[in-house]
């Protein structure tokens, strides 16, 4: 069996193979400010242009995101070009022809050339309902190459090579989708456990309409609204109903009263579940996550949760 130290060495060698880096220049981790607005986490990424100058841009940290996305104005500013244009969910995408050089702090990120895309005709990657702006998305398949600490209460983000960090908090399994990099977790409501995508990119927790309706039948006294209610409106997309749960259990942690919204049946059970390591019925998102420090150890498929960042 490969040792943790051997895995760390392999990661360092792989990183040293990146253009312009030697072993003496390898940075194993970086800690930078975490910007939390509208229940979503953002980070400032640094891009190096071909002429050696740099440009910083604000990116959404989305553990449930599929591509490393760059808005068209930023892509043009970086001198990127792209190929054929494809449309999906009302947006136009194109794979960039040359990978940008990008880092979090001093830690250079490894990008997949097939999954780095320009989003055309947009200067904001977020839905129109959002009150904030981002010039791109740092997604799950990139984050899953690292150890990542989202300290929401402490407003800091740490990204490190595998086997670098000492984790704090209560540990629980976090199965990771092998291609998507999507992390899975479970919450317990009234004694029943539900598989969820750990979704930093969404502002509000979502579940299948089948589950929300079942909870409503079992608990008719739980607050319930048609459509997106309150801060759930920041999600964008189609929200069927909003419900407020009195609380839940997340591993060894207690989650106080929080809201969920419902999405069309099959969105999670069929579509999203095929990208996960095991089936899910929803996604645990920013309205819950913002109360915790989260240590995501992707290599060992473990999640460590600390309430209040303490």
User: 199 and 156 in one domain?
Assistant: no
d(CA 197, CA 90): 24
User: 189 and 118 in one domain?
Assistant: no
Q: How many domains does the chain have?
A: 2
Nearest CA-CA partner of 296 in 193, 134, 185: 185
User: 42 and 122 in one domain?
Assistant: yes
User: 196 and 140 in one domain?
Assistant: no
Tokens 């915790």 map to which residue? 292
User: 41 and 21 in one domain?
Assistant: yes
User: 136 and 104 in one domain?
Assistant: yes
Q: What is the CA radius of gyration of the chain?
A: 19
Structure tokens at 122: 């947009």
User: 132 and 17 in one domain?
Assistant: yes
CATH label of the domain that carries residue 113: 2.40.70.10
What is the SS3 assignment for 288? helix
d(CA 200, CA 59): 12
Looking at 160, 190, 224, which one is the last position of a domain? 160
Nearest CA-CA partner of 248 in 219, 210, 278: 219
Looking at 99, 133, 160, which one is the last position of a domain? 160
User: 65 and 15 in one domain?
Assistant: yes
The DSSP 8-state label assigned to residue 180 in this structure reads T
Nearest CA-CA partner of 266 in 209, 217, 204: 209
> What does each of the 310 residues of the chain score in pLDDT, given as a tens digit?
333 333 333 444 344 444 444 433 578 999 999 999 999 999 999 999 988 899 999 999 999 999 999 999 999 999 999 999 999 877 899 999 999 999 999 999 999 999 999 999 999 998 877 778 999 999 999 999 999 999 999 999 999 999 999 998 889 999 999 999 999 999 999 999 999 999 999 999 999 999 999 999 999 999 999 999 999 998 877 899 999 999 999 999 999 999 999 999 999 999 999 999 999 999 999 999 999 999 999 999 999 999 985 5
Kindly report the number of other CB atoms within 10 A of residue 41's CB atom.
Answer: 25
User: 176 and 271 in one domain?
Assistant: yes
User: 208 and 146 in one domain?
Assistant: no
User: 205 and 77 in one domain?
Assistant: no
Tell whether 80 is covered by a domain: yes
Tell whether 27 is covered by a domain: yes
Tell whether 241 is covered by a domain: yes
Domain residue limits at 222: 172-290
Say if CB 104 and CB 28 are below 8 A apart: no
d(CA 196, CA 283): 5
- How are beta strands 156-160 and 107-108 bridged, if at all? unpaired
Tell whether 305 is covered by a domain: no
d(CA 201, CA 190): 27
Tell whether 140 is covered by a domain: yes
DSSP 106-168: TEEPP--TTSEEEEET-S--S-TT-SS--SEEEEHHHHTTSEEEEETTTTEEEEE-TT-PPP-
The DSSP 8-state label assigned to residue 264 in this structure reads -
pLDDT tens digits for 213-262?
999 999 999 999 999 999 999 887 789 999 999 999 999 999 999 999 99
Cα maximum dimension of the chain: 62
Looking at 160, 190, 206, which one is the last position of a domain? 160
Looking at the DSSP bridge assignments, the partners of residue 306 are 293
User: 138 and 188 in one domain?
Assistant: no
Tell whether 203 is covered by a domain: yes
pLDDT tens digits for 39-78?
999 999 999 998 889 999 999 999 999 999 999 999 999 9
What's phi and psi for 63, nearest 5 deg? -65, -20
Tokens 């792209």 map to which residue? 82
């Amino acid at each position: 069996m490969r040792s943790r130290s051997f895995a760390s060495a392999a990661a360092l060698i792989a990183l040293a193979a990146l253009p312009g880096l030697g072993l003496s220049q390898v940075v194993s981790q970086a800690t930078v400010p975490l910007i939390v607005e509208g229940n979503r986490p953002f980070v400032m990424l640094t891009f190096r242009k071909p002429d050696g100058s740099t440009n910083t841009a604000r990116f959404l940290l989305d553990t449930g995101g599929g591509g490393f996305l760059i808005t068209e104005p930023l892509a043009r500013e970086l001198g990127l070009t792209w190929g054929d244009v494809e449309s999906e969910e009302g947006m136009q995408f194109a794979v960039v022809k040359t990978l940008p050089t990008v880092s979090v702090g001093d830690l250079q990120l490894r990008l997949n050339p097939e999954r780095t895309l320009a989003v055309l005709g947009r200067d904001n990657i977020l839905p129109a309902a959002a009150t904030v702006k981002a010039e791109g998305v740092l997604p799950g398949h990139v984050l899953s190459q690292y150890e990542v600490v989202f300290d929401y209460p402490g407003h800091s983000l740490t990204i490190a090579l595998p086997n670098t960090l000492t984790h704090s908090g209560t540990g629980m399994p976090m199965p990771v989708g092998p291609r998507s990099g999507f992390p899975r977790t479970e919450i317990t409501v009234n004694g029943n456990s539900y598989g969820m995508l750990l979704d930093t990119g969404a502002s509000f927790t979502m579940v299948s309409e089948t589950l929300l309706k079942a909870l409503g039948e079992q608990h008719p006294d739980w607050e319930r609204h048609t459509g997106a209610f309150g801060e759930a409106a920041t999600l964008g997309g189609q929200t069927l109903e909003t419900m407020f749960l009195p609380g839940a259990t997340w591993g060894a942690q207690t989650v106080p009263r929080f809201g969920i919204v419902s999405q069309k049946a099959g969105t999670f059970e069929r579509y999203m579940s095929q990208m996960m390591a095991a089936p899910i019925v929803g996604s645990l998102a920013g309205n819950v996550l913002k109360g915790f420090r989260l240590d995501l150890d992707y290599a060992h498929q473990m999640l460590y949760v600390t309430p209040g960042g303490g």
